[in-house]
Amino acid sequence: MTTEETATPATLHGCLLGDSRGQAVLFVPKSSYVSTMKKLVDDGYEMCADLTAVDFLTHASRTLPAGVSPERFEIVVNLLSLSKRERLRVRVQVSESDPSIDSLFDLYPGTEAMEREVFDMFGISFVGHPDLTRILMPEDWQGHPLRKDYAQGRIPVQFKGAAS
Amino acid sequence: MNPRESESIISAAAGTNEGNQELRSRSELTAKEVMREVGAVLRMSETDAALLAEVEADPGEDQTMIINMGPQHPSTHGVLRLMLELKGETVLRCKPIIGYLHTGMEKTGESLTFMQGGTNVTRMDYLSPLNSELVFSMATEKLLGIDGDIPERAVWIRMLMSELNRMSSHLLFMATNGMDIGAVSMMLYGWREREVVLRFFQKVTGLRMNHNFIRPGGVAADLPAGWRDDVMSILDMLPDRLGEYDVLMTNQPIWRERLQGVGVITQAEAIALGATGPILRSTGLAWDLRRDMPYMHYDELEFDVIVGSYGDAFDRYAIRLNEIRESMRIVRQILDRVPSGDYRIQDKKVTPPPRARIDESMEALIHHFKIFTEGFKVPEGEVYVAIESPRGEVGCYIASDGSPTPYRMHVRAPSFVNVQALPHMMRGGLVADAVAVISSVDPVLGEVDR
């Protein structure tokens, strides 16, 4: 990176554009999440390949570009442009106190199952999702397994009618 | 409603003007409206559906019925459950319900070292385990910064195994697809041919499935003596057998009647739903990561991307059949090009010392012990790597905090995303065709539920 680039960090649609091992990463604030995604759809990112989340509870000191304040959760969206043959990763910080974010269902209907999975596994709710229910765990399950404070192997078996 | 200038890009390109009926740009279209219109997803929780089932049947003629297909149904490829709303024999709506095979593999992945991670991911897509291992290894290598230093021989072995795995996976599809449609003898043939490929895998990796053969840094072992002859015998055997499939199925009127025009999906739907692999290609879009975003040495090989034109179950069948042929073509080219050399990177950090050294050197023993108990540290960072598996784009997202275990390991499973296409394909079809549609998506439930 040259000095000029460090002076004015690269941006796309007003969001910080970073680089992770040669892959483009866009840091989008939660407030402008959907509006930025709309612009990216028009930029030619036709497909949402993947949507997932990370719980940074035990790794709060991670490296983020200046100007992005770390929160507990991060939504990670991997976009794919079939026409330009490019990928772009969007990372959005989601706070622990308000674990919710707008749904991408209107833009990418394929995120229906992925957002349900994130809701199921992390307890992050998606505003505007048509059917936000558990997808992998049983409907009456307590807790969100992929959170870092959900211990492995120490949870009593909880199935309908089973003695725990 | 006035057509806006910005919205007329599509029609301007085509030189037409549809006025008010003009297609709006996708970012402005409310997908929810579209989805509701086509009845894509049954917006009903299991509890609601149970309540509805208890309501007294409507005595009118236009009553509909909600039935469950699966999770224990011979044609649901594992434990996929479909909630179908039927009117007579017509499927009005369909909702896939998954999770019956969920074992928390992504959570497990967080406590396994990068060295052990392969044993976990290989069990996700159990029909193409080598592709899962490959994508996990490639993501780990990218984090380590050694993705460009993998020895040539290892890369070519990886490609060889990946393509053979594509063949075995598609052969199994031929078997199960035939079985689902009623061509039961096809089941035996498909399994028979797949077994020949698996026997080669057993010879190379020691296991028929769940190999943990492709590991960060290279592959677990070199190819055994005589591997070329074994591969050649597979390549010599298959063309005739595939020709028999053509006689048995492709050119057979009953087979065509059963599949053509069944489970149609449009290209726009497939892209919007994120469907990849044969489903996307069946709609006429030539999208194959091996060609379009090449990894390893696929850009040096000659092969065709097979596309369909109708997006129906027959296209998806024919694409897979011909992809076996293309994979054979690729394997033939690989056979001539596998160089000699190391089969894993000589980087002390990720590669354990050779077995013989352990008997002689205390340091080598300690090194071996450390690698297998503690693993190797991977620098902080996050990557997403995707490759073309037999079912579509399989991706691996790893976030590392600098420790020997991934902080978060997520696999973008093609089947998980592709299953969302089922409601679109089934809508308006016959319940008897539902079986053909599920089969044509070729979901692997181990990967759907992870």
The complex scores an ipTM of 0.88
pLDDT(A24) > 70 = yes
Q: Cβ of A47 and B292 within 8 Å? A: no
A129 vs A36, residue with greater confidence: A36
Contact list in B for residue A136 (CB cut-off 8 A) is: 98-99, 102, 449-450
**Which pLDDT score is estimated for A163?**
59
CB atoms within 10 A of CB B355: 9
B381: nearest CA partner in chain A: A20
Q: Where are the domains of chain A?
A: 3-100
**Which pLDDT score is estimated for A1?**
42
How far does CA A40 lie from the centroid of its chain?
Answer: 16
Contact list in B for residue A39 (CB cut-off 8 A) is: 27
Q: Is the dihedral of CA A124, A125, A131, A134 positive or negative?
A: positive
Name residue A76's beta-bridge partners. A52, A91
In DSSP notation, B193-251 reads HHHHHHHHHHHHHS-SS----EETTEESSPPPTTHHHHHHHHHHHHHHHHHHHIIIIIT
Q: Where are the domains of chain B?
A: 5-97, 105-449
Q: Cβ of A121 and B293 within 8 Å? A: no
- The pTM of the full predicted model, rounded to 2 decimals, is 0.86
**Which pLDDT score is estimated for A155?**
58
Average pLDDT, chain A: 84
Q: Cβ of A42 and B27 within 8 Å? A: yes
Q: Cβ of A130 and B35 within 8 Å? A: yes
Q: How far apart are CA A35 and CA A25, in angstroms?
A: 17
**Closest CB from A78, A139, A146 relative to B395:** A78
Q: HSE-up of B120 (CA within 13 Å, CB side)?
A: 24
Q: How far apart are CA B130 and CA B122, in angstroms?
A: 7
Torsion (CA) B315, B427, B253, B322 in degrees, nearest 10 = 10
**Which pLDDT score is estimated for B51?**
53
Q: Cβ of B104 and A52 within 8 Å? A: no
Q: Does B294 touch chain A (CB under 8 A)?
A: no
Taking the CA of residue A66 and the nearest CA in chain B, the distance in Å comes to 16
Q: Cβ of B384 and A78 within 8 Å? A: yes
**Which pLDDT score is estimated for B171?**
93
**Which pLDDT score is estimated for B352?**
83
Q: What is the pLDDT along chain B (450 residues), one digit of tens a residue?
A: 444 444 444 444 445 454 444 444 545 555 554 554 454 444 444 555 455 455 444 444 457 777 888 777 766 677 888 888 888 888 877 888 888 888 889 998 998 999 889 899 999 988 999 999 999 999 999 999 888 889 999 999 999 999 999 999 999 999 999 888 888 888 899 999 999 999 999 999 999 889 999 999 889 889 999 999 999 999 999 999 999 999 888 888 999 988 998 988 888 888 888 899 999 999 999 999 999 999 989 999 999 999 999 989 999 999 999 999 999 999 999 999 999 988 888 888 888 888 888 888 888 888 888 888 888 889 999 999 999 999 999 999 999 998 999 999 999 999 999 998 888 888 888 888 888 999 899 888 888 888
Q: Cβ of B420 and A110 within 8 Å? A: yes
Domain A3-100 has CATH 3.30.460.80: yes
3-state SS string for chain A: CCHHHHHCCCEECCEEEEEECCEEEEECCHHHHHHHHHHHHHCCCCEEEEEEEEECCCCCCCCCCCCCCCCCEEEEEEEEECCCCEEEEEEEEECCCCCEEECCCCCCCCHHHHHHHHHHHHCCEEECCCCCCCCCCCCCCCCCCCCCCCCCCCCCCCCCCCCC
List A residues 19-48 in contact with B (Cβ-Cβ < 8 A): 20-21, 23, 25, 38-39, 41-42, 46-48
Q: Cβ of A20 and B382 within 8 Å? A: yes
How far does CA B174 lie from the centroid of its chain?
Answer: 15
**Which pLDDT score is estimated for B9?**
46
CB pairs under 8 A between A and B: 134
**Which pLDDT score is estimated for B134?**
93
Taking the CA of residue A115 and the nearest CA in chain B, the distance in Å comes to 11
How far does CA B228 lie from the centroid of its chain?
Answer: 27
pLDDT(A127) > 80 = yes
**Which pLDDT score is estimated for B104?**
87
CB atoms within 10 A of CB B296: 18
User: What is the arithmetic mean of pLDDT over A134-160?
Assistant: 78
Choose, out of A35, A36, A42, A50, the residue to mutate when testing the contact with B (most B CBs < 10 Å).
Answer: A50
CATH of span B105-449 = 1.10.645.10
List B residues 378-397 in contact with A (Cβ-Cβ < 8 A): 380-384, 386, 393, 395, 397
Taking the CA of residue B408 and the nearest CA in chain A, the distance in Å comes to 7
Q: Does B447 touch chain A (CB under 8 A)?
A: no
Q: Does B35 touch chain A (CB under 8 A)?
A: yes
Which percentage of chain A shows pLDDT scores above 70? 88
Q: Does A135 touch chain B (CB under 8 A)?
A: yes
